[in-house]
Chain A
C-alpha cells in the first residue's frame, strides 16, 4: 500500500502503527464471520433498487434529450450509454477488476513517492505561502499513517485520480469534442479549487452548478469547460462534468474504502479500477454524443445541418400546438374534473350517510381503541420530525437578552415548548396504548402485514375535504435552482432512510462478532477498524489504530 513501506521516522514517537498485511495469505487478513447474509443481502437489495431507479431515470432522460435535439431527423436515437451501469449487476468484482485495481495501487504507490519528493522541494521553494493549505497539513505528519482522516486523504488520492485521468484524456482526443482553451493541467491549481471529495450529497446540490463543476475533484478536462463564458456550454456541460465528477468522486470513495487499509492486494477489492476505466471511456463517449445532441444551434452555425426541415424545441417551442384530438380530449377531461370537484354532496345524502355511519358505529366492538391503526401511523408520521424541530427551537433561544421584555418572551417561549413536549409525550403514551389494544383486535393475518402499511393514504375522516382530492394537483417551482434543490433533497431523504436501515442491520450483525471474539486473533485490529469505519463513520473515514508499545 502506498504508505505501508515506510517506517517510523520520528524517533520520539513511542508507538508504531499497525500496518495491514500485504495479503499473501488472505485467510489471515480476511475477517470472517459466519452467515452475514443479513448485511450482504441488504446491501445487494439496496444496490438492485438503486440500479433500477437509475435505469428508469435514464430512460426518461433519454426521452427528454431527444426532445431537446433536432426534430424531424430520421436518425434513430443513439442509445445513451449508462455510465457505471456496466458493473451494476454483479455483486462480485471480476478478475479483471481485481487486476486493474492491483495495477492502480502500484501506480498510486509510485505517484506518492514522486509526490513526496516533489513536495519536499516545493516546501522549500514556497515556504508558507498559503497556496496549498491542504498539503501543508499532512506534510509534517508521517506518510506512514495510512489510515488517515478525509482531509488528508484528499491529497494522496488526488494522485491516483490523476493517473487514471491520463487514460480517459487520451480517449477523449478521439471524440469530436474539442477541449476548451482554458484547460489546464496544473495540479496545484486543481487542488486548491477542489473541495473535500466526500461532501455529503445534501451539500452537493446547494453548491451545484458553477461551484460544483469548479469545486469537484474532477480531474478530467471536462471541469475546465464550465469555466468558459458561453452560457450554453455551461448549461450543457454542467450535466456532463457531473457525470464524470460523480465518477471521480466515486473513485475517491472507492479508494478510501478499500485501497487504504484493508485491501492491500485483496482480491475482492479491486472493483473500482477496471470499472472506473470503462466508465470513464463510456462517459467520454456519451459526452461526445450528448454534446452533439444538446448543441444543435452550434451545428447549424457550423454548417453541418443536414436538412432544413429539422427544427429544435428552442426555436419553435412557444409556437407548438397539441394535436386537435388530444386538445379536445384534454379539455373535455379537465371540464369533467372541474365539475366533479365542484359537485357537492347533497344535504339529504349527507344526512342519510351520517345517520348510517352513526348507527353502524354503535354495532362496533364496544371498547374501541382511541386510534385506528391508520390513525396511529398518521400521528406518528407527524410526530417524527417534532423532536428535532423542538430542539432546534430550544437552541435558537439565546442565553442573553438585551431587554427585559425579550427575556420574558424567551422564558415564555421555553415554557411553551415545555408544554408542547409534555403534550407530545402524552400523545405518544396514548398511541402506544392504542397499538397494544389494536393488536388484541387484530384479525388473523399472518405475514401479510406489509400490505397494511399506508402507501400514502391521505388524511381521512370528516376533517378531510373529500372533494379536495379531486383538485388538480400541481407542484409549482419558480426557478431552476428550486427544482434541483427539490430533487436533491428528495434523494437525500431517501438515501438517509436507506442508510438508517442498513445501519441497523449492520449493528445487529457486526457488533456481536466483535463482542463474541469469534475471529482469528491476528486480524482483530483490521476487523475492528473495518467495523468501526462502517458503523461509526458511514464507511467514509478510518480511525487510527496505534499499537501501544514502549520504545526500547
Chain B
C-alpha cells in the first residue's frame, strides 16, 4: 500500500498506475460512486494516438465531480476538450494557482500527475467528498431550499437566448404585445403564489396528522414521500435501493477516513518527485505565457456582472457615507455645544456615561459585523421541512433526540428574516432602476411637444 519512491518520469508513471490501483483506489472509487447519480462518464472514443488511459479518465472524473458541485447540466456528449476547458476554469474559479495544470494539452493526453495533485488540492479545498455526499443525499423528506443562491446567479439565460419570439419574420414589435406578455407573467406569478400557499396548507396538514408516528424522534412526523410510501409501497422500491446504496457509500467514506494519512503522505512524495524533475525544465516560459496572453477583461460576462455589482454597491455605500458624514458632523457639533455648557459635570459622569454607551453600542455593532462577514455559517442547499410546534414539551426538543449533534436545524424564523433583508435590498434596487427611468423619461417628455405627463 505504501507508495514506492521513484526517480524518473517513467517510473513515476508506473508508480501512478500501481497507486491508482492501490492508494487512490478507495478515493477514486468513492468519487466514482458519488458520480454515479448522474450519468456515468462515457468511455472515450479512441483518437488516433490513444492517450494514456489515466489522464483521460482522470479528466472525465474531474469533469463529472465538478459538474455536480457546480450544479450544471451534464452534457455527456461534450467533447473532451470542452470538458477539459470546463475543468480548468473550475479550478481557476476555486483559486488553484499551479500553472502546469492550465498548460496541459486539451486532448487529455498527458498530465495525470498534475491532475492528481490538483485533485488532492480540491479534495481538501472543497471538502469534496463531504460535499458530494451531502449534495447527493437521498431525499425522503419535503425538501425546500434555504437560500436564494439559484436566483443570485448572474442570469445569463434571460434575454440573450437565441430563441426567436413566435412573431416569425416581422421585426417590428408592438409595445402592447410586450405589455400583454408582462401582464401574463404577473398573472402566472400570482397563480404560482396561490399554488404555493395551497401546497403549504396540504403539507402542514400531512405533518400535523402524522405527528408522532415517525420512528426518528427528531423528525416526529412523516413527509409526503413517506406517507405515500405507506400508502403505495410498491412505487418506492427505487427509494429503498437508493438508501441502501447510500449507506454503502457512507461506509466507503469511513474506510477512506482510515486511509487518509497514507494518502496525504503519498501525495507529498508525488510533489517531491515532481519538484525534482520539474526543476530542470521549469523555465521562463511560464512568465512569457502569462504576459504574452492579452486577456481582454471586457469580453468576460462574469467579470462584467461582478464589476457591475461592485460598482452599484459602491455607489450606494458612497451616498450613505456622505449622508452619515453630514449627520455625524452635525450631531457632534450639537453634542459639543450641549456638553460645553455643563463643564462642571463633564469629568464625573462623562466617563460613566461613556463606558455604558460604548458597551451598548458595541453590542449593536457586533450584530452588524456578523452580518457583514462571510464567516457567518449561512445554511445552503435544501433542507427537510419539519414541523415543530412551540410546545413546552418539545421546547427542549433536541434533549430527547437520538443525537442532537448530527442534526443541524435551522429555524424558519431565521430564514424568514434573511429573506426579508434580501427582499428589502432587491426592492430598493428595483426602485432605483425605476427612478432612473423616470428621470430619463422626464427628459424625453420635454422633447414631446404639447404633451405634459403627470405621473400617478
Interface-located stretch among A5-13, A160-168, A298-306, A494-502:
A494-502
Chain B residues with Cβ below 8 Å from A485 are 412, 416
Contact, CB under 8 Å: B406 / A471: yes
In this complex, the member of A341, A441, A475, A531 whose beta carbon has the largest number of chain B beta carbons within 10 angstroms is: A475
Query: Which A residues are CB-close (under 8 A) to B420?
Result: 489
Instruction: Say yes or no: A528-B191 contact (C-beta < 8 A), given A345-B260, A435-B303.
Output: no
Please choose the segment from A86-94, A102-110, A120-128 that sits at the chain B interface, where 4 or more of its residues have CB less than 8 A away: A86-94
One of B271, B313, B408 near A384 (C-beta < 8 A): B313
A-side contacts of B154, CB under 8 Å: 450, 453
Contact indicator A487/B197 (Cβ below 8 Å) = yes
Contacts of B360 in A (CB 8 A): 409
* List of B residues within 8 angstroms of A196 by Cβ: none
Binds A, one of B5-13, B44-52, B139-147: B139-147
Interface residues of B in 99-133 (CB under 8 A from A): 99, 102, 117, 120-121, 124-127, 130-131, 133
Chain A residue nearest in CB terms to B126: A460
Contact of A246 among B145, B193, B383 (CB under 8 A): B193
A114 at the interface (CB under 8 A from B): no
Residues of chain A with a CB closer than 8 A to B268's CB:
352, 355-356, 359
Shortest distance from the beta carbon of B179 to any chain A beta carbon, whole Å = 5
With A313-B209, A360-B271, A388-B424: A329-B243 Cβ-Cβ less than 8 Å: yes
A333 is an interface residue with CB less than 8 A from chain B: yes
- Of B15-23, B31-39, B53-61, B365-373, the one with at least 4 CB within 8 A of chain A: B365-373
Q: Are A448 and B120 interface neighbours, CB within 8 A? A: no
Within the complex, which residue of A239, A365, A548 is in contact with B97, where a contact is CB–CB below 8 Å?
A365
Q: Lowest 10 A-B CB distances belong to which pairs? A: A372-B95, A364-B97, A317-B209, A455-B71, A352-B264, A466-B127, A250-B187, A349-B260, A445-B89, A42-B159
- B131, B318, B444: the one contacting A514 at CB < 8 Å is B444
CB–CB B174/A64 < 8 A: no
For chain B residues 225-252, which have a beta carbon within 8 Å of chain A?
226-231, 233, 236, 239-240, 243-244, 246-247, 250-251
Number of A-B residue pairs having CB atoms within 8 Å of each other in the complex:
782
Known contacts A246-B187, A349-B264, A364-B98; 14 further A-B pairs (Cβ under 8 A): A38-B160, A250-B191, A352-B261, A384-B152, A414-B324, A431-B306, A455-B71, A455-B150, A469-B133, A471-B406, A471-B407, A480-B200, A544-B455, A547-B452
Beyond A482-B412, A493-B422, whether A432 also contacts B441 by CB under 8 A is no
Contact of A442 among B70, B92, B200 (CB under 8 A): B92
CB atoms of B369 and A407 under 8 A apart: no
Size of interface on A: residues with Cβ below 8 Å to B:
258
* A79 located at the interface, meaning its Cβ lies under 8 Å from any Cβ of chain B in the complex: no
Residues in chain A near residue B144, CB distance under 8 A: 475, 486-487, 490
B246 lies within 8 A of A391 (CB): no
Judge whether A428 and B375 touch: CB under 8 Å: no
Contact of B452 among A459, A465, A498, A546 (CB under 8 A): A546
| CB atoms of A536 and B434 under 8 A apart | yes
B134 touches A469 (CB 8 A): yes
- Contact A50 B354, CB 8 Å, known A500-B430, A541-B456: no
Residues of A within 8 A of B317 (CB): 386-387, 390, 421, 424-425, 428
* Contacts A201-B193, A492-B423 given; does A500 touch B433 at CB 8 Å: yes
Measured CA separation A51–B184 after assembly (Å): 11
Check B445 against A528 for contact (C-beta < 8 Å): yes
